[in-house]
Structure 1
Amino acid sequence: MTDIVCIGSVLWDVIGRSPVVMRQGSDVPGRITRLPGGVAMNIAMALVRFGMRPAVLTAIGRDAEGDELIAACERLGVDTALAYRSDDLPTDRYMAVEGANGLIAAIADAHSLELSGSKILAPLTDGRLGDVDTPYEGLIALDGNLTLALLQQIASDPAFAHADLRVAPASPGKAERLLPFLRHPRAVLYVNLEEAGLLCKSDFPDAATAAQGLTSRGAARVLVTDGGNPAAESGPNGILTATPPQVLVTRVTGAGDTFMAAHIAAERAGITGAPALHRALTAAATYVAGENPA
């Protein structure tokens, strides 16, 4: 009953938001929330809003926070039955501060996911989703919170050889972990302009140039976003560009994940090319404006 498997971080997001412009050392009033998050979880939640049925492969502790997180995920329509539950590792967390001028700072504590390693991938080899003789052939959304060693393993593992891989970095600081997928024939990369530059070790002036730069280095297909500036897709059919709708930004954490989920859902529904890119940009703009796109 699963449409897509989301592999990566599922954790608690602790987000502090203020409606005022902030700088280093700012001490301002605002709101602090705790919600299920992590790149894989953000993608999964967005996919639910777009009518898909995601399952997550991740590591969640058998602590009180982990039990609460499992319950919250299930209420949101995300299947956690295949998640690895660790007896000795705590549930991961992410903390961010956002102001009217965007993300001020963030810390991702995904150590339990990193330490769990390949244990989270067991359902793809033990018969629950696939095995050596019958590899999983469906959609996989993969996030860069996994270790470089595990991502390298996934890139060459026969268990993933028939999957439709959609890959996103967890943050610019982890963008280079996606290098094993830069020449992967079945991987679609979803990155922002900064992440594209880090992968190519270049500075790009815009998304279209970045997308072309990634494909020239071997990427089979890539989508590059640049905030409110034009985004681009590059692949076998050349370069596509589109400009996102202009909106008042009220949040930024999770915008890229919403873009990726909306694009995957559009293609799942048979919408491709420029219409799919436009739909994904519209969904991301709706999200940053404070609404939940559907």
Structure 2
Amino acid sequence: MSVFVLGSINLDAVARVDDLPRPGETVAGISLELFPGGKGANQAVAAARFGAPTRLMGAVGREDSGPSLKAKLAGYGVQVSDVAELPSIPTGQAHVWVSSSGENMIVVTSGANATLSPQHVAATPLEGQRVLLCQLETPAPAIEALFRAGVAKGALRILNAAPALPQGAALFPLTDILILNQTELATYARLDHEPSRLEEVSRVARKLMSRPDQTVIVTLGSAGVATVRRDEAFLVEGRKVKAVDTTGAGDCFCGALAACLSTGMDLRDAVEHANAAAALSVQKPGAAPSMPSRREVEQILAE
């Protein structure tokens, strides 16, 4: 039971506004808060909060917020010995705008995240890691190296192909479980619309598969989560909640799913748990601070 995450670590500056600005528009902020963030960090926190022993590989700046971010991640239960502190390179940052309805817009600058390389992976022992989890806010060659190394170790390889980048598709053949949202699915499949019905989502998702044993999971926002295999597809319906902040909801889903699968949980049950975790996360502000515990998730499932 263990999860190894290779991914980004950012300082999130979250500004709350009544309405998200249109192009060229200036709006007044209601508040500004600083949180630990980055898809890698968020997903590692979600997995650790769910109870899985979780290691995070990443990089931060040494002279700015990097050391304090490492300390905060450790406080959430994430093992951070594989997080490098780099001199003269800034920690990654995300500038997040959140509207009163809970919708968000995000601009990310990579900073130290862009320095991760196959050499970092080669120097890291992976024995005992049951699940490898990556996103696309770190260089693709490092992810490729990790997934290739994971084959020999018998690890389950999960790729959250976000943000949607051209180099992401090259990693799909090395992936056991691919996680996308509707927008990312449309981008990789080169569609001019976002699929929403299970039948179309399934048909499009299968076009991204390169092996018969792969799984594609498509998050559909409030509509729920579609899970697609070669010979089956099922929908876990979304939970009706009042969203305070949707930042990190997808990361929460990915981390919780990885934690569940690291215990050997059935895929359908794991998706149910991860879907419930994401629903809980949007009811609190921030990304990492909003990740629920396994006990909270099981309580909402019981209800």
TM bracket, shorter-chain basis? 0.7 to 0.9
Aligned to 1:214: 205
Aligned to 2:5: 6
Aligned to 1:146: 138
Aligned to 2:106: 106
Partner deviation per Cα, 1:184-236 (whole Å, 9 max, x = no partner): 3x521111011011111123421632343222332511110111013200125
Secondary structure of residue in 1 paired with 2:238: coil
1:262: how far off?
1.9
Aligned to 2:20: 22
Distance 2:172 2:74 in 1: 34
- Looking at both structures, which has the greater relative contact order when contacts are Cα pairs under 8 Å and sequence separation is at least 6? 2
Distance 1:148 1:7 in 2: 11
The residue type equivalent to 2:73 in the other structure is: C
Distance 2:88 2:21 in 1: 38
Aligned to 1:223: 217
1:59: how far off?
1.2
1:113: how far off?
1.7
Secondary structure of residue in 2 paired with 1:64: coil
Partner deviation per Cα, 1:262-288 (whole Å, 9 max, x = no partner): 222223334324332222111111111
Aligned to 2:184: 195
- Verify the 8 A CA contact 1:95 1:108 in the aligned structure 2: yes
The residue type equivalent to 1:30 in the other structure is: I
Q: Does residue 75 of the first structure (1) align with residue 65 of the second (2)?
A: no
- Verify the 8 A CA contact 2:134 2:143 in the aligned structure 1: no
1:160: how far off?
4.5
Aligned counterpart for 1:129 among listed residues 126, 130, 136: 126
Compared CA separation, residues 119 and 62, structure 1 to 2 (3 A): farther
- Verify the 8 A CA contact 1:145 1:169 in the aligned structure 2: no
Aligned to 1:133: none
Compared CA separation, residues 33 and 113, structure 1 to 2 (3 A): same
Q: Does residue 58 of the first structure (1) align with residue 58 of the second (2)?
A: yes
Partner deviation per Cα, 1:140-180 (whole Å, 9 max, x = no partner): 1111112244444555x3455432111113324x3x33212
Gaps of 5+ in 1: 131-135
The residue type equivalent to 1:200 in the other structure is: A
1:99: how far off?
0.3
- Verify the 8 A CA contact 2:60 2:66 in the aligned structure 1: yes
Partner deviation per Cα, 1:76-119 (whole Å, 9 max, x = no partner): 21111112222232211111101024444321111322134334
Distance 1:51 1:153 in 2: 27
Compared CA separation, residues 217 and 48, structure 1 to 2 (3 A): closer
Aligned to 2:256: 262
Identify the range of structure 1 (187-196 vs 20-29) with the bigger mean alpha-carbon deviation.
Answer: 20-29
TM-score normalised by L of structure 2: 0.83
Distance 1:88 1:283 in 2: 37
- Verify the 8 A CA contact 2:131 2:261 in the aligned structure 1: no
The residue type equivalent to 2:76 in the other structure is: L
The residue type equivalent to 1:182 in the other structure is: F
Aligned to 1:49: 49
1:29: how far off?
4.2
1:34: how far off?
1.1
Q: Report the RMSD for the aligned CA atoms in angstroms.
A: 2.4
Distance 1:152 1:50 in 2: 26
Compared CA separation, residues 59 and 179, structure 1 to 2 (3 A): same
Aligned to 2:298: none
The residue type equivalent to 2:136 in the other structure is: G
Secondary structure of residue in 1 paired with 2:4: strand
Gaps of 5+ in 2: 285-289, 294-303
Distance 1:207 1:142 in 2: 27
Compared CA separation, residues 154 and 271, structure 1 to 2 (3 A): closer
The residue type equivalent to 2:157 in the other structure is: L
Identity of aligned residues (%): 20
**How do 1:218-257 residues align onto structure 2 when only pairs under 5 Å count?**
218-219=209-210, 220-257=214-251
Distance 1:110 1:211 in 2: 33
1:74: how far off?
1.5
Alignment size in residue pairs: 280
Compared CA separation, residues 74 and 153, structure 1 to 2 (3 A): closer
The residue type equivalent to 1:183 in the other structure is: P
Secondary structure of residue in 2 paired with 1:95: strand
Compared CA separation, residues 101 and 211, structure 1 to 2 (3 A): farther
**How do 1:169-180 residues align onto structure 2 when only pairs under 5 Å count?**
169-172=161-164, 174=165, 176-180=166-170
The residue type equivalent to 2:138 in the other structure is: L
